[in-house]
Structure 1
Amino acid sequence: MALSEQKTMKTADILSEFRASFFAMSRLASLPWTFVEDDLLSNESSEFISALLKQTCLHPLCRRFPPSVRFRRMFLSELIRREAADCDPLDELYDALAEVLGAEEETECYKSYFLPGGGAVSLLENVALISEGTTGLVTWEAALYLAEWALDHRQVFAGRSVLELGSGAGLTGITICRSCRPHSFVFSDCHSTVLQKLRENVRLNALSEQTSPAARVHELDWTTATEDQLAEIGADTVIAADVVYDPEVAVSLVKLLSKILSRPSTQVQPEILICSTVRNPETYGGFKQQLENAGIHHEVMTGAVSSVFPYNRLAAIELIKLYR
């Protein structure tokens, strides 16, 4: 392969990395800024900056589902700071900055995650990590990991009825609906504000009870859910991400999982997958012990997942499969 072709491929990869990180609002320090500086120094032109703007602030998706005003302002400021001194100023760069300098900060913003087959999952999320007494209004690492695992194991969901516990903003479930061909998908949560945001995100991504797969949002309180309610949902596969963060919540979750697994022996047991970011080993260990006490065994699902979405890959994330 010619050197020019290699450079073109590398440039395309860098632009793709910037696009994914920009729309997911990744930490600015994690972006490949060194490539920008090297390109500006070697070419002494703003051609790459112009191409980068087209993949970020000037991308059509940014008009429809823009990241936060603060993030865009910081991103553009970083680009301007790295512009080579002997390059002609790029008008579109300064125009883009002027636009966000005059915009008001909001409590909500959009994050978008690009799928391998094309298209993106776009979510309305809260800017604050904790808002209105819940962490369910943002996307966490375990949800992204579980979505990547699902993309690598699409057969687990194809043609099946899936229930997601604690769906939050909806990233994992929407990814599965868009890419894994389930028969139906039930998103669930119990916090009223989370449910409202979840319904909006499901709609934003063109999913409904009338689409294929049929997708609906269900209010499900783990402390009061009955076996009849769960039987009505009738899930073949049950998933959850980042739901083991509090000892009291873990107690309710284990009781719910026991009900889900209490089908008659003549019926096939649902496949249950729980993905967790292990922030507190004591809390997570307590959850596993409660599972064992309830007669629920687990298997740790090992093996790397394909790198699809940008997130902190140094986080301690574990995916377990439950069975009786």
Structure 2
Amino acid sequence: MAEPDLVLRFQRRFLAARQLRSFPWPVRGCGRPGSGAGAAAGRGLALFRAFQELEQHLRASPDSSLLLDVLHKTVLHPLCVKYPPSSKYRQCFLTQLIRKHEATAAEPLDELYETLAELLREEECPACYKSYILPTGESVTLSESLAIVSGGTTGLVTWDAALHLAEWAVENSVLFTNRTILELGCGVGFTGIAICKTCRPKRYIFSDCHPCVLHQLTQNILLNGFTLGPDSAPCIQGESQGQGAAGTSCQVPQVMVAELDWGSVTQRQLLDLQPDVIIAADVIYDPEIIVALIGMLEKLSTCRADGKSPEAYIASTIRNPDTYHLFQAQLDKAGIRWQLLPAHSSSTLLSDVQPNLSVLQLFL
């Protein structure tokens, strides 16, 4: 009998296309142990253990139902069929499944080989889809770039801090319910779409400044069943809008996309937004943008008509402690108080515990 928890772990990580090249197994073209950085290798450790667990189950039972269940919940899952990860990614994953099956000396499974043969005939596309299963069971599907840097920006992929912030938001949904949210540097839109699907905000403002990012962001918002503009329908049903909003709450927020350049935005532009809450993920990775970000936060502190300052939360992956501490020092210099919020005890979206992820609450 298939192990539901094991299969679910495979499904969540596969649909989100967690990096296979860092997994510690010798698959040609997919990388070898130690071939990536320590953090990258760590991201593959949980799924490596899952593959070990899968192999133990396969050796313990000659029944192939477990492997077929994994196949149908990953490569042949309806989300993957309609919105597939990269062809190479699926090929590497399926090749490893076949090797695990062959190691058990069981009878060949034609469906595995037939599926691989179909994948080998596919042409690779420059973009791919990733589908993230939220803690609530709902999904967010995004079109993302295959390259970390594409079109002169790193904003066309989803970073771990965005996943971390989304999980934190779901756990603290009361902070977002029936409120206006402004996201700074939102990239391709994962965090905001996840919040719109689970936290019932009144209005959500996605903002970025790169033209390629804004274009891809708009496509992803529509893909997930939301309508841009202030006159959104009270409830989206069916699949008339891209992927559709199956499983989302009937309270669909007003959604808009704003082009905001932190260095040139005016106070007048910000007065039109009137955010109750400001969030951002992975926006303090470069010392050169910290001054502009601090200036943006200072302008936002006085942008509300009622005179109240918005609440603010910033999630970060701490790659360089000096840059992170520089941001904190600049907050202190600007008179913006801050506090570090408690870390997650577990993670659904991330494949392992990430000790270098944090969420700061700012008091503007």
TM-score (ref. length: structure 2) = 0.83
Paired residues of 1:241 and 1:275 also in contact (CA < 8 A): yes
Q: Give the Å deviation of 1:302.
A: 1.5
- Please give the residue correspondences for 1:179-198 in structure 2 after superposition, counting only pairs within 5 Å: 179-198=198-217
Which of the numbers 264, 268, 275 marks the counterpart of 2:315? 275
- Please give the residue correspondences for 1:131-210 in structure 2 after superposition, counting only pairs within 5 Å: 131-208=150-227, 209=229, 210=232
Q: Say if 1:283 and 1:44 are closer, same or farther in 2 by CA, change over 3 A.
A: same
Paired residues of 2:271 and 2:305 also in contact (CA < 8 A): no
Higher mean C-alpha deviation, range 284-293 or range 189-198: 284-293
Say if 2:69 is the partner of 1:51. yes
Q: Say if 1:199 and 1:57 are closer, same or farther in 2 by CA, change over 3 A.
A: same
Instruction: Work out the CA distance in 2 between the residues paired with 1:261 and 1:271.
Output: 9
Q: Give the Å deviation of 1:289.
A: 1.2
State the SS of the aligned residue for 1:94: helix
Which of the numbers 263, 266, 272 marks the counterpart of 1:226? 266
* Aligned AA (1:142): A
**Higher percent of residues as helix:** 1
Say if 2:307 is the partner of 1:289. no
Which of the numbers 83, 104, 111 marks the counterpart of 2:130? 111
Say if 2:344 is the partner of 1:304. yes
Which of the numbers 51, 55, 60 marks the counterpart of 2:78? 60
Paired residues of 2:159 and 2:282 also in contact (CA < 8 A): yes
Instruction: Work out the CA distance in 2 between the residues paired with 1:314 and 1:152.
Output: 17
Q: Give the Å deviation of 1:312.
A: 4.9
Q: Give the Å deviation of 1:198.
A: 0.4
The total of aligned residue pairs comes to: 316
Which of the numbers 216, 240, 244 marks the counterpart of 2:280? 240
Paired residues of 2:274 and 2:305 also in contact (CA < 8 A): no
Instruction: Work out the CA distance in 1 between the residues paired with 2:94 and 2:314.
Output: 38
Q: Say if 1:77 and 1:122 are closer, same or farther in 2 by CA, change over 3 A.
A: same
Structure 1 gaps, min length 5: 1-6
2:88 is matched with 70
Q: Deviations over 1:260-280 (max 9, x none)?
A: 012479622100111111111
Q: Deviations over 1:107-155 (max 9, x none)?
A: 2101111123333100100011111221100011110110000010000
Which of the numbers 3, 9, 20 marks the counterpart of 1:17? 9
Q: Say if 1:312 and 1:252 are closer, same or farther in 2 by CA, change over 3 A.
A: farther
TM-score (ref. length: structure 1) = 0.93
State the SS of the aligned residue for 1:302: coil
Q: Percent identity?
A: 43
Say if 2:97 is the partner of 1:79. yes
State the SS of the aligned residue for 1:116: coil
Instruction: Work out the CA distance in 2 between the residues paired with 1:109 and 1:159.
Output: 33
State the SS of the aligned residue for 2:359: strand
Q: Deviations over 1:203-239 (max 9, x none)?
A: 1101123142111111111111111111101100000
Instruction: Work out the CA distance in 2 between the residues paired with 1:266 and 1:178.
Output: 28
Q: Give the Å deviation of 1:47.
A: 1.4
State the SS of the aligned residue for 2:272: helix
2:119 is matched with 100
Q: Deviations over 1:257-306 (max 9, x none)?
A: 00001247962210011111111111111111111111111111124255
- Please give the residue correspondences for 1:2-13 in structure 2 after superposition, counting only pairs within 5 Å: 11-13=3-5
Instruction: Work out the CA distance in 2 between the residues paired with 1:13 and 1:310.
Output: 16
Q: Say if 1:234 and 1:40 are closer, same or farther in 2 by CA, change over 3 A.
A: same
Instruction: Work out the CA distance in 1 between the residues paired with 2:129 and 2:79.
Output: 10
Instruction: Work out the CA distance in 1 between the residues paired with 2:352 and 2:137.
Output: 23
Q: Give the Å deviation of 1:175.
A: 0.5
- Superposed CA RMSD in Å reads 1.6
Higher mean C-alpha deviation, range 46-55 or range 187-196: 46-55
1:3 is matched with none
Instruction: Work out the CA distance in 2 between the residues paired with 1:194 and 1:251.
Output: 22
State the SS of the aligned residue for 1:233: coil
Paired residues of 1:189 and 1:219 also in contact (CA < 8 A): yes
Instruction: Work out the CA distance in 1 between the residues paired with 2:161 and 2:12.
Output: 18
Q: Say if 1:50 and 1:176 are closer, same or farther in 2 by CA, change over 3 A.
A: same
Q: Deviations over 1:68-116 (max 9, x none)?
A: 1011000000011111453111111111101111111222101111123
Instruction: Work out the CA distance in 2 between the residues paired with 1:312 and 1:46.
Output: 28
Q: Say if 1:278 and 1:292 are closer, same or farther in 2 by CA, change over 3 A.
A: same
